[in-house]
Amino acid sequence: MRDDASRARLEEMGFALYLPRSRRAAASGGRMHASAGPAHRRARVALIARDAGASPHALLAGVARALAFAHVEATIAPDVARAGDAGGLVVFGAPLAREIEAALPAERRKIEWVGAAEPADVAGSVAAKRALWSDLKRLARALSNPGG
């Protein structure tokens, strides 16, 4: 069994620790474990792609699943106007990224965002996939540590 400092360190690194109910109360000294309580407010990201076909939709669903592992909620939005109060954007395609950047209101310009390749390019290129996943990690870190 890990001590409290080890559990806290693993949770800070993003690892969710699951303990059986009988051990959870004992491990926390009779009080509820922090991860067993209600979920804290998760960061939200809007995924925006121009083409709504089956292949881009599968890619967006995969990106949403990957962000969920980083405790970031992702929604697929057709444009920036429907992104709502998202703390970040993932935009697929350079032309669409330029359009969205121009359309963002001044107060939303400081939003965290990633400009990725077109969905077909990401699906067919190892380098584009690697760049996308690298940018998603950076985005997840930035959203989890808004102050620094």
pLDDT at 110: 76
Cα angle 16, 68, 57; round to 5 = 160
pLDDT at 44 over 60: yes
pLDDT at 37: 38
pTM of the model: 0.65
d(CA 135, CA 124): 18
In tens, the pLDDT along 15-38 reads: 777 766 665 555 555 443 444 334
In tens, the pLDDT along 83-108 reads: 777 888 899 988 888 888 887 777 76
pLDDT at 20: 66
